[in-house]
Amino acid sequence: MSLYNALPTLCPVHGPPKNRQNCRHCNAAYMRGYMRTARRKRPARAILDRARHRARKNGVSFALSGKDILVPKNCPVLGIPLVIGGPRSNASPSLDRINPYKGYAVGNVRVISDRANRLKGGRSLSEIEALSRKARPNQRADYKAIAIYMEREALLIDVKRKALLGGSASPWIVIADFLEHKFRTFFD
Ligand SMILES: [Zn+2]
């Protein structure tokens, strides 16, 4: 966390910054909170816009909003730090459709690195596993990591299905929530 992020979004006099017209501390605290939220939301917005554009171009259904896009620090597939902003690179965040036969929908997307997304493409698990053995040597480890990612996401989809069937008291809901967070932030 940067020093800037550590600064409070409360006014030292008024607490919640409700007196922005008359109190400069309120105004400063409000702006810190506003900028903090904007910084957090901006990468999600950019990822969403790119994905929506791709969806239109390829005739894929799209049912996501900004709140559905959670950006981890590191690529959950390859473990490399995601680089927000700047020119597109292997480390740019990119929205993967976990099941490429389904659209951009809640539960079927994960923010991963551009490199992982490109290597995965629309391939099946068995195709990726074959590539982890037969691809160029410098790519095999990445394909292996993609296979592991696909297997764990398939497990999560199954757990979520059980949670949905089980009703609100189902222990699968707790397990699904835990795995969802764990898988998103796997290398954070
Ligand atoms: Zn104040």
Output the CA 32–ligand 1 centroid distance in Å: 13
Output the CA 51–ligand 1 centroid distance in Å: 41
From the CB of residue 172, how many other CB atoms can be counted at a distance below 10 Å? 18
Q: Given this model, what pLDDT does residue 6 score?
A: 55
Q: Given this model, what pLDDT does residue 45 score?
A: 85
Helix (H) or strand (E) segment spanning residue 13: none
Which tokens sit at 88? Answer: 């597109």
Query: For tokens 């993967």, what's the residue?
Result: 96
Helix (H) or strand (E) segment spanning residue 67: none
Q: Given this model, what pLDDT does residue 40 score?
A: 62
Q: Which residues contact 93 (CB under 8 A, 6 or more apart)?
A: 43, 47, 71, 82, 84, 111, 112, 113, 114
Q: Given this model, what pLDDT does residue 4 score?
A: 46
Output the CA 4–ligand 1 centroid distance in Å: 19
Q: Strand 62-63 to strand 109-113: parallel, antiparallel, or no bridges (unpaired)? A: unpaired
Distance from chain centroid for Cα 174: 20
If we measure between CA atoms, which residue out of 108, 111, 88, 87 comes closest to residue 97?
108
Output the CA 15–ligand 1 centroid distance in Å: 7
Read off the pTM: 0.76
Q: Give, in degrees to the nearest 5, the angle at Cα 150 between 76 and 126.
A: 140
Longest Cα–Cα distance of the chain, Å, equals 68
Q: Strand 93-97 to strand 104-105: parallel, antiparallel, or no bridges (unpaired)? A: unpaired
Average pLDDT of each block of 10 consecutive residues along the chain (188 residues)?
59 92 93 75 84 94 93 96 86 94 95 97 96 96 98 96 86 93 95
Beta-bridge mates of residue 83: none
Q: Given this model, what pLDDT does residue 97 score?
A: 96
Helix (H) or strand (E) segment spanning residue 164: helix 137-166
Output the CA 14–ligand 1 centroid distance in Å: 4
d(CA 164, CA 26): 44
Q: Which amino acid is at 65?
A: S
Q: Which amino acid is at 183?
A: F
Q: Given this model, what pLDDT does residue 157 score?
A: 94
Helix axis angle, 137-166 relative to 171-184, nearest 10°?
160
Q: Given this model, what pLDDT does residue 93 score?
A: 93
